[in-house]
Amino acid sequence: MTFSKTSLCVLAFALLAAPAIAQSSGKPDLTGYWTNASLTPLTREQGVSKLVVNDEEAKTIVAKTGLAGIAADDPEFRATYSDPNAGAPEKGGDDFGLKGYDGFWVAPGDTLAKVKGQWRTSNIIEPANGQLPYKDPAGVMKKQMEGFRVYMTGNAPYEGPEEPTLSERCLIGFGQTGGPGMLSVLYNNNYQFVQTPDHMMILVEMAHDARIVPIFANGEEARKNHKPNAIKPWLGDTVGWWEGDTFAMETRNVNPAQAADQSFPISPSGVVTEKLTRVGPQEIFYQFEVNDPETYTQPWKAELSFHPAKHVMEYACHEGNHGMIGILAGARELERAAEKEAKSKSKPTR
């Protein structure tokens, strides 16, 4: 059989354009741009009893879904522009930080998560009620709300650059977007996977977090190659291996400072196991299990899927941002004023 030059060019283009399913290594190829954007939360909302819903039920849930604590019918948030003459919100108000964005700036997704053809109401599948099995739910919520209230109201001294949250400082993304346990958040839900025979790189659009995971022959070998427990990097210490056609990762020693503005806390002794399975050209099935007896009453599991995306956008976080400069300059001005007042009071009077 012979081919013309035109036929060969068309064939080559088709092969390049088609999603890569298998490598020469015989393993499925996860390389590409992917997104997990959806309106499905980690934990199931009150009043929703089922994990899987039909098309009509999914549309009803989406119509009632708020974003970042703002009600779905809030007209200010759903607007696609902000009034430049409205002025800044009052410091201390509950919406000081909450309404820093309007609807133009957010891109959480337009539907519930679709996992293997099913609409899901929560990422959590175990426990069956779709809730996080905290040992001390009140204590966890108190810690999370303390940080959230600072962001929401602006009531904080902000005397140094370490006071804002990690995500506000653009050190890592918020809401667990980078993992371990990679979740959909308010925006920047794209990922780039680059697979080689000995490493898997996962670039997260949010804050350009990058997970560079070494691949070993099996789980036992991988676990032997964890870093010493004294090393607790952002996103944890992750090692990987193949289980047939599924790529597995185990993460230990997540930096404890990460818990403050993430979707769920992980203690220093917690272990997260993640699995990525290519189930077709348009889907990577993603599972993760959290085993952390210090924080939870039982191991718990979550599922979602990644679907094709066009690209990963540049995440320019503080470039051109005068906020941090203003915060620190304001704190220094308050210090100078206090020092001046103290000196005036210490002067002897005649």
What is the domain count for the chain? 1
- Look at residue 96 and tell me if it is in a domain: no
In a domain, 215, yes or no: yes
| Residue 308 backbone zone (phi > 0: left; psi -120 to 50: alpha; other: beta) | beta
Confidence at residue 78, expressed as pLDDT on a 0 to 100 scale: 64
Task: Check if the beta carbon of residue 44 is closer than 8 Å to that of residue 124.
Answer: yes
pLDDT score, position 25: 66
Helix (H) or strand (E) holding 138: helix 137-153
In a domain, 52, yes or no: yes
Question: In Å, how far from its chain's centre is CA 70?
Answer: 19
Residue identified by tokens 């320019």 is 316
Residue 185 located in a structural domain: yes
Mean pLDDT, the chain, integer: 86
Does position 4 have pLDDT exceeding 80, yes or no?
no
Is residue 316 one of the residues assigned to a domain? no
pLDDT 10s digits, 88-136: 666 666 666 666 666 777 889 999 999 999 999 999 999 999 999 999 9
Token duo for residue 299: 């191991």
Look at residue 1 and tell me whether its pLDDT is greater than 80.
no
pLDDT surpassing 70 at residue 7? no
**Range with the poorest average pLDDT among 80-84, 223-227, 322-326, 336-340:** 80-84
Contact 282, 114 (CB under 8 A): no
- Give the pLDDT mean for 283-289: 98
| pLDDT at residue 50 is higher than 80 | yes
Per-residue pLDDT tens digits for 241-271: 999 999 999 999 999 988 878 899 999 899 9
CB atoms within 10 A of CB 198: 10
User: 119 or 137: whose pLDDT is higher?
Assistant: 119
- The better pLDDT of the pair 236, 319 is held by 236
In a domain, 149, yes or no: yes
pLDDT at 143 over 80: no
Question: pLDDT per residue over 201-214, tens digit each?
Answer: 999 999 999 999 99
Q: Is 193 among the domain residues? A: yes
Confidence label for 24 from pLDDT (cuts 50, 70 and 90): very low
193 pLDDT higher than 90? yes
The predicted model scores a pTM of 0.85
Tell me what pLDDT residue 194 has.
98
What tokens were used for 321? 């941002």
Q: Which domain holds residue 302?
A: 32-67+106-308
End-to-end alpha carbon distance in the chain: 111
Assess if residue 313 is contained within a domain: no
State yes or no: pLDDT of 20 exceeds 50: no
pLDDT value for 316: 83
